[in-house]
Amino acid sequence: MAFTPDDKKMLEGYIQKARPFAEMFSVKDKTALVTGGTSGLGFDIALRLLQGGAKVVVASNSRIEEEAAMPLFAGQGFADRVRFCFTDVRNEEEVKALVDFTAETFGSLDIFVNSAAIWNYAKIYDLPRQDLELIFETNVYGAFFGVKYVSKYMKEHGIEGKIVLISSNSPIVPYPVFGGYPHYASSKAAVMGLVTEAAKELKRYGIMVNSVAPGGMVTPGAAGNLASEFITEEQQDEFYDELMVWSVDGQLPVDQVGIIAYSLCTPMGDGITGETIVVDGGASHNIVRYQPAIDAYPEED
Residue 290 appears among annotated catalytic residues? no
- Is 60 exceeded by the pLDDT of residue 274? yes
Identify the pLDDT of residue 291. Answer: 62
**Alpha helices (H) in 52-206, listed in sequence order:** 63-75, 92-106, 129-136, 142-156, 182-202
260 in Cβ contact with 277 (< 8 Å): yes
Identify the pLDDT of residue 152. Answer: 98
Helix 40-51 and helix 254-264, axial crossing angle in degrees, nearest 10: 50
Catalytic residue among 184, 240, 262, 290: 184
Indicate the SS3 state at residue 227: strand
Q: How far apart are CA 11 and CA 201, in angstroms?
A: 34
Domains of the chain, earliest start first: 28-280 (3.40.50.720)
- Give the tens place of pLDDT for each residue, 92-105: 999 999 999 999 99
Identify the pLDDT of residue 295. Answer: 60
Q: How far apart are CA 116 and CA 217, in angstroms?
A: 15
Mean pLDDT of 237-257: 69
Element (H, E) at 209: strand 208-214
Of all residues in the chain, what percent carry a pLDDT higher than 70? 83
Its pTM stands at 0.88
- Give the tens place of pLDDT for each residue, 15-74: 999 999 889 999 999 999 999 999 999 999 999 999 999 999 999 999 999 999 999 999
Which of 108, 113, 184 minimizes the C-alpha distance to 143? 113
Q: Where are the beta strands (DSSP E) in 3-141?
A: 31-35, 55-60, 82-86, 111-114
> 3-state DSSP: the chain helix, strand, coil percent, rounded to 5?
50, 15, 35
Half-sphere exposure of 128 (CA within 13 A, CB side): 13
Identify the pLDDT of residue 290. Answer: 66
Q: How far apart are CA 164 and CA 24, in angstroms?
A: 17
244 in Cβ contact with 281 (< 8 Å): no
More confident residue, 13 or 296: 13
Q: How would you class 174 by CB atoms within 10 Å of its CB: exposed for 0-12, middle for 13-18, buried for 19 or more?
A: middle
| Torsion on CA atoms 91, 42, 178, 229, rounded to nearest 10 | -50
- Give the tens place of pLDDT for each residue, 190-235: 999 999 999 999 999 999 999 999 976 555 555 455 666 666 777 7
